[in-house]
Structure 1
């Protein structure tokens, strides 16, 4: 999506898609999938679903695991479109946007954490903070920054032919240090390293899909098969992890998750949605800011609302993903309409006015 006027602020900043257009026009289906993906991420971060059985919660979480990889895939896909014609500007604009978002969101969560007094400031201000952020979910932005820098470097040294092998190798490393680590480190799995690398195989895959026009070579049914295969394989992998490690936690990424996300990515690009509508507009404008700030809404909801729900506590817990999502969405829409200055600040727009010099301009 192109940057427009200051009033038309884009929370998307389009880290996943600064253009989201091709010569054929905008892909509105991708925008709709973005909003669905944001909702899935909210579900993954809900701490309690009340009396819903654990197995059911595990299935729900597994069905939502496509979302984060999907954003990486879309980012790589549209990055190639911009890089094809304006490589330096495309790369610098992405990095500048991501850095501004990372700085602003980290500052917000630093203040939020200090106000809650959950962590001493000395613990928050360390090396890991500058890589993964002051809140757990901000690893996504740091990983994206690292992934774009890595992809840009590989393109600069003309190593395009190596990208498929690199993507496969990094994916294997991510699996072995992430989800599969439960097999040999059942009680002590730290996802920081795997998360930092996670964007690389997906950004590369999205990039290659665009570069070699793979979408036109694929059929819709192939995307559906990938989704079904990915969901089934992901469930099998998760069951094996639980069987051998007795760890009920759903892993960040499994190989089935890769197939599942790739299938959803193909569906988003193959299923036509010719007209812009409310869903696509919301996905286009607000999916990123929902991702960034929904944990604050979750914290407020579970600390202030749930304790006072009394007899309706179970209903409030079961419906918590929908309620949190709608509150977050409504809040950012109101912010953008009535408090544009604060909205701009939360989306990192002021920092993006800082000029980044390219090597050629120095």
Structure 2
């Protein structure tokens, strides 16, 4: 069987997480369903989608563990080279594409782009860790996490992986969402780089190395516990003028990723359909191009004068259709080698 080496539920998890990220970046429910002029439902939905990136990191660690354990340096090179190529190519495309078409048409392409380029230069270190557009931060963060693991394995210091990853994560939280309280200095936005990604990838790595599993019930309870802690933290931090929808990672967030991953792992045949495998192999490609597709849909809905729920619907499902179609078309052309892995 062609996909016998893949776990159907984890591939389905990829698709579910990708859709959540597209919905998150589409900023849905943020202009209606207000409570005292606050988009409460939009804020809640925003934080509910935060399972996606931890899941992707954990899955990456889980999948790369066998090769990384046996050949850390070789695996790191083979794994990181195509990812960094994709990061560079899509950074260039994101830097080149105008975001506000109306301004580009009225004021000129260079004026529209110069504002964004100048903003990036004012945050140069952060921009370096992200690339040409904010969503691309995932790629260097993943590569750095894998590099750290490979380095520790190469020097026979695997026992230090979890402590170091926890220290990095703690610093990331203290210098991120809790910075208002801790006043911890950070060189750049701690979502970027190794601070959160390392622990998530290490968790996936250790899950496979130690063959860790949980029952469906215990996995769900872990997932639920993670969400409860994450949401309590997010609500509590509003007392310190930290917006509820700001958080990428909090203390409870790793539990969310772990719970979801183990839950899917406990149901390996969930989503066992050819379409799942067909779509899941293109998840990274859709991910790197989806935010530019969101930009396209934002401009189109603006020109059409769409608002509220109709606007959200068109942006989300238009982005899904456009990004998926683009990837499938490029997959049939020589540009595939340039644009994707």
| Mapped contact 1:52–1:318 kept (Cα < 8 A) | no
Q: Report the TM-score when normalising by structure 2.
A: 0.85
Q: Which residue of 2 aligns with 1:52?
A: 33
Per the alignment, do residues 191 and 38 of structure 1 end up closer, same or farther by CA in structure 2, a change over 3 Å counting?
farther
Per the alignment, do residues 308 and 127 of structure 1 end up closer, same or farther by CA in structure 2, a change over 3 Å counting?
closer
Does 1:343 find its partner at 2:336? yes
- Pairwise mapping of residues 216-227 of structure 1 onto structure 2 (< 5 A)? 218-227=214-223
Q: Which residue of 2 aligns with 1:269?
A: 265
| Mapped contact 1:31–1:281 kept (Cα < 8 A) | no
The match for 2:46 among 61, 74, 78 is 61
Q: Which residue of 1 aligns with 2:309?
A: 315
* 1:97-117 deviations in Å (ceiling 9; x for gaps): 221111111121122257652
Equivalent-residue separation in structure 1 for 2:286 and 2:251 (angstroms): 27
What SS class does the counterpart of residue 37 from structure 1 fall into? helix
Q: Which residue of 1 aligns with 2:277?
A: 280
Per the alignment, do residues 89 and 118 of structure 1 end up closer, same or farther by CA in structure 2, a change over 3 Å counting?
same
Q: Which residue of 2 aligns with 1:333?
A: 328
Equivalent-residue separation in structure 2 for 1:235 and 1:190 (angstroms): 27
The match for 2:190 among 184, 189, 193 is 193
| Mapped contact 1:73–1:202 kept (Cα < 8 A) | yes
Q: Report the TM-score when normalising by structure 1.
A: 0.80
Equivalent-residue separation in structure 2 for 1:250 and 1:214 (angstroms): 32
Equivalent-residue separation in structure 2 for 1:316 and 1:189 (angstroms): 40
Paired residues, what number?
Answer: 319
* 1:278-306 deviations in Å (ceiling 9; x for gaps): 133212x2211221111111111112x22
The match for 1:146 among 144, 147, 167 is 144
Unpaired runs of at least 5, structure 1:
3-20, 350-362
Per the alignment, do residues 225 and 56 of structure 1 end up closer, same or farther by CA in structure 2, a change over 3 Å counting?
same
Structure 1 residue 314: deviation in Å?
2.4
The match for 1:162 among 160, 163, 170 is 160
The match for 1:210 among 208, 213, 220 is 208
Does 1:36 find its partner at 2:16? yes
Q: Which residue of 2 aligns with 1:360?
A: none
* 1:304-331 deviations in Å (ceiling 9; x for gaps): x222334x53233231323322322222
| Mapped contact 2:152–2:158 kept (Cα < 8 A) | yes
Per the alignment, do residues 238 and 129 of structure 1 end up closer, same or farther by CA in structure 2, a change over 3 Å counting?
closer
